[in-house]
Amino acid sequence: MSETFTPLHPVLEKNLQALFHINPKLAGKLFQIQTNTRFEVFQGKDLADINILDIELQSFMYANPISDTLLKAQMIREGDCLPYRYVYGIGTGVVLQMILSDEWLKSVLVIEPNLELLYIVTHLFDFSEALQTRKLVLEHAEDFDFVKASYLISNSNAQLFAKLFKLEYVSNYYEHFYMPNILEINKILIKSFEVTIIGYGNSAEDTLMGIEHHVRNLPAMLEGPQLNSLLSLTYPKTAIVVSTGPSLTKQIPLLKKIKDYVTIISVDASFPILEKHGIKPDFVTVLERIPETANFFKNNAPEFQEGVHFVCVSIAHQEVLDAIKHGTKILEMRPHSYTHFFELNPYGYLGIGMSAANLAHELAIALQFEQVILIGQDLAFGRDDTSHANDHFFGVNEEKVEGHDIYTEAYGGEGEIRTTMYWNMFKSYFERAINISKSFIQTVNSTEGGARIPGATELSFAEAIERYVDFSTPKTPFTIPNTPVQESLQYKKQMIEKINVWLQDTVNRQEVIEETFMDVQEASENFIILLEEHRLEEITVEKLSPLMDKVDTIKAYLGEPIFKQLYYDILQSMLLHFELDFVKIEVMPVKDEEDIKAKMISWLLAHRYWLFTFAGGIDAEREIVLRAIQSWPEELQKQVIIPKKREIAIDEAKYEELMAKFKEQMAQRFKFEQ
C-alpha cells in the first residue's frame, strides 16, 4: 500500500520555508511533527482570543487571554523602546504578532522550550516575512547555547544595547513552570554579551600598539614566507597542540614517545619546556604584542630553534621577533579591519581567538588535520591551585588564585573548577572554533584536567594516541621559501599606496569632526546664556535639528566600508562604551515637545564627548602610523606622502566648566539622565 501524503497547513508551510533558510535544524524538527498532543488550542471570535491548555501540567497559558495578551503587549510598548528584545516562550503568538508590527523593533529572539507550541503557533500566524528579514528569530531552548547566542549578538548591533538587556516572557506560565531553564538561558545571553563586549577590547593603547607593530613589521612580512605556502605541504593526519596548563607535566613522557609521528604545534610559552625535554615542535605560535614574550626565545640553544616554523602575528613586538634568531619566521595577520585594508591575502589571517593556544588550534584547522589533540589546555587552576606546568618560565604560580572566584565545569564533568575571566574567554573561542570546524576536523581534549571544553571529545592522551597516531611512517622535515623578490616589491608598492590613502583620510575626517565639535560647543555656550537669562523657551526643536544632523553625518562614517577598515579597531573600544550609554537616551519615551527637546539636548551633550574622543582617536592613529613608518628602510619612507592638517583651537577647560553648570540646571528642568 502506498503512503498517503498529507499536505502541510498553508501558514505552516510558509513559515517552514522561511525557517529552513535561517534555522534548518528547527525547521526539520517542526516538519516531523504530525499533530499536537500535549497542548489543546481554544480559539474565540476575537483574533486575540486564543488560549492554550497544557494537558500535561493542567495549566492554561492565560487566565484571560484577551486582556492578558493586550496588557503584555502594552507593557512592552510603553517601556523602553528597545530595538532588540529577548523573549522566553512564544505563548499563543498573539503578543509576538502585535509587537512585530512596531517600526522601532529591529529583532526579537524567541526561545521556546516546547516544540509543540512552536508547531501550533506557526500554524496560527504567518511569520514568514519576519523570519526572512530576521526581525523574528525562533530557537528551540534545548539547541540554544553560548555559540548560537554569541553569533546572534556579535553579528548585529544588539551588543550596543547590552546594558539594557533583559529576558522577558509573554506569559506567567513560563515563569511558573520553566524558571530553572529561564535562568540558564539568561546566563547564556549575559555571558555572550560579556564576551562580545570584552572582545572589542577595553584598551585603546593596546590597539594602537598593535597598529604600530603591524605597520612597522609590514616590510619584513612582505619579504618573508607566506602562510599560504603551508597549505600545499603534507603532514601527518594528527596534530598535537601543546599548551602550558598544570596538566602538561604528566603528558610530557607520552608526547616524547610520539614526537616523530605527529605534527606538534606549541604555544610560545611551552617552547622552553619542550626544549628541556628534547621535544622539538614543528610550529610555535606567537600572539602577544608585548615584549615579555621574547623571554620564551632568548635563551634557546640555536640548534633547537633550527627547523622550527614560528607563526607570529604581524603585531608581535620587535623584541620577540629579534629573539627568534633561527628557524623560519612566518608573519601572518590577525583578522583585524586594518590588516584587511592592505589586501595581502597570501600572507594569511589567523588569530580570531585571544590566546596563543587559540591561534595554534586555528592553525591546525587551517592546515586541515584530521584530528587535533589538545594537551596542557587546562584553562583553570590545578587542584593544587597552580596555574602553569612545571618548568614554565614565569613559574607554576604565575597567575595567583587569590581574587579569582569564577568556577566552570571541570574536565570529565567532575564537578567544578576555579578559573579566571580570561581563561573562560579563551575557552569560549575554542568552543566557537570547534563548532565551526566539526564537520571536517575532530578536536580531542586530552588535557585530563582543568576545564571541560564544550564540543571537544574527551579522551585520555594514551587512548587518543592509540586511536589516532600512525606509527608506520615518521614525519619528514619541510621548508617554505621567502616571497620572491619581484612579488615582494609589488606588495611593497601596494603597501605604500594604502598607507598614503590612510594618512590622507585621517586628515580629511578629523577636520570635519573637529568642526562639528566646535559647532556643538558654541551651541552649548548659547544654551548657558539662555538659561541664565531665563529664555529657555528660545531653545527650539527647529534650532536643535541642524546640530543633530551634523552629528548624524559624523555617525554615518561608522557605516562606510573604508572607515570600518581604517578606524574600527582603534575606535570600537573607545566608542562602544559611549554607544552603550547613548541607547539609554535613544529609547527614552517622549510625550510632548518638552520631552523631545530634553531628549535632543541630552543627545547633543552626550555626543560632545563622543566627538572629542572620535577626533582624538583618529589623530592618535595617524601619529602611530607615522611613528611606525620611521622604522622602515629609507627608500620606502621617501615614498610616503604626509598630508598637512588644519589645526583648530579648543578651550577644553572652559567648556568643561560650562558643561557641568548646564547639565546641573537642565537636569532639574528636563530630568534627563546625567
Confidence of residue 560 (pLDDT cuts 50, 70, 90): confident
The H or E element containing residue 123 is: helix 115-124
Is the residue at 555 inside a domain? yes
Which tops the pLDDT comparison, 334 or 605? 334
Do both 272 and 179 map to the same domain?
Answer: no
Range of the domain at 551: 485-670
Q: How far apart are CA 575 and CA 582, in angstroms?
A: 10
Is the residue at 185 inside a domain? yes
Backbone torsion region of residue 529, taken as left when φ is above 0, otherwise alpha when ψ lies between -120 and 50, otherwise beta: alpha
Q: What beta strand segments (E) does 93-244 contain? A: 107-112, 136-140, 167-168, 238-242
Residue 594 has pLDDT above 80, yes or no: no
Tens of pLDDT, residues 218-274: 999 999 999 999 988 999 999 999 999 998 999 999 999 999 999 999 999 999 999
Confidence of residue 285 (pLDDT cuts 50, 70, 90): very high
Q: Taking a C-beta distance cutoff of 8 angstroms, is the pair 87, 169 a contact?
A: yes
Is the residue at 415 inside a domain? no
Whether the CA torsion 497, 499, 503, 508 is positive or negative: it is positive
For residue 354, give the C-alpha cell.
585571544
Confidence of residue 656 (pLDDT cuts 50, 70, 90): low
Q: How far apart are CA 105 and CA 99, in angstroms?
A: 8
Is the residue at 271 inside a domain? yes
Mean pLDDT of the chain: 86
What is the reported pLDDT for 551?
87
Do both 85 and 186 map to the same domain?
Answer: yes
What is the reported pLDDT for 78?
65
Backbone torsion region of residue 470, taken as left when φ is above 0, otherwise alpha when ψ lies between -120 and 50, otherwise beta: beta
pTM over 0.75? The answer is no
Do both 145 and 23 map to the same domain?
Answer: yes
What is the reported pLDDT for 2?
39
Tens of pLDDT, residues 382-439: 877 776 767 676 666 667 777 677 888 899 998 898 888 788 888 988 988 998 899 9
Residues in Cβ contact with 360 at an 8 Å cutoff, skipping those fewer than 6 apart: 241, 242, 243, 265, 266, 267, 283, 285
Whether the CA torsion 43, 49, 54, 59 is positive or negative: it is negative
Q: How far apart are CA 301 and CA 590, in angstroms?
A: 70
Tens of pLDDT, residues 512-526: 988 888 888 788 777
DSSP 5: P
Do both 151 and 250 map to the same domain?
Answer: no
What is the reported pLDDT for 366?
95
Q: In degrees, to the nearest 5, what angle opens at C-alpha 172 toward C-alphas 168 and 176?
A: 105
Do both 341 and 489 map to the same domain?
Answer: no
What is the reported pLDDT for 520?
83
The H or E element containing residue 138 is: strand 136-140
Residues in Cβ contact with 656 at an 8 Å cutoff, skipping those fewer than 6 apart: none
Which tops the pLDDT comparison, 223 or 208? 223
Which tops the pLDDT comparison, 163 or 433? 433
Residue 499 has pLDDT above 80, yes or no: yes
Is the residue at 124 inside a domain? yes
CATH label of the domain that carries residue 133: 3.40.50
Tens of pLDDT, residues 129-154: 999 999 999 999 998 987 788 778 87
Tens of pLDDT, residues 22-69: 888 899 999 889 888 899 999 888 878 899 999 999 999 999 999 988
How large is the C-alpha radius of gyration of the chain? 29
Which tops the pLDDT comparison, 79 or 248? 248
Is the residue at 480 inside a domain? no
Residues in Cβ contact with 238 at an 8 Å cutoff, skipping those fewer than 6 apart: 262, 263, 369, 370, 371, 372, 373, 468, 469, 470
Share of the chain above pLDDT 90, in %: 51
Residues in Cβ contact with 573 at an 8 Å cutoff, skipping those fewer than 6 apart: 200, 201, 202, 203, 204, 207
Is the residue at 424 inside a domain? no
Count other Cβ atoms within 10 Å, centred on residue 46.
10
Do both 257 and 121 map to the same domain?
Answer: no
Is the residue at 595 inside a domain? yes
What is the reported pLDDT for 163?
66
What is the reported pLDDT for 541?
79
What type of residue is 313? V
The H or E element containing residue 624 is: helix 593-629
Q: How far apart are CA 545 and CA 560, in angstroms?
A: 23
Confidence of residue 657 (pLDDT cuts 50, 70, 90): low
Strands 50-54 and 39-43, bridge-based pairing:
antiparallel
CA 544, 545, 548, 552: dihedral to nearest 10 degrees? -170
Q: How far apart are CA 344 and CA 342, in angstroms?
A: 6
Residue 482, helix vs strand vs coil: coil
Residue whose C-alpha is closest to residue 379's, from 436, 421, 441, 412: 421
User: Between the ranges 460-464, 567-571, 610-614, where is the mean pLDDT highest?
Assistant: 460-464
Do both 309 and 191 map to the same domain?
Answer: no
Do both 461 and 497 map to the same domain?
Answer: no
Q: How many domains does the chain have?
A: 3
Position of cell 509576538? 96
Do both 347 and 463 map to the same domain?
Answer: yes
Q: Which of 1-5, 94-98, 303-307, 441-445 has the lowest mean pLDDT?
A: 1-5
Q: How far apart are CA 582 and CA 447, in angstroms?
A: 44
Residue 262, helix vs strand vs coil: coil
Residue 633 has pLDDT above 80, yes or no: yes
Do both 133 and 175 map to the same domain?
Answer: yes
SS (H, E, C) 218-237: HHHHHHCCCHHHHHHCCCCC
Do both 239 and 376 map to the same domain?
Answer: yes
Residue 588 has pLDDT above 90, yes or no: no
Position of cell 602577544? 288
Q: Identify the domain boundary among 199, 233, 260.
A: 199
Residues present in the chain in total:
674
Do both 551 and 630 map to the same domain?
Answer: yes
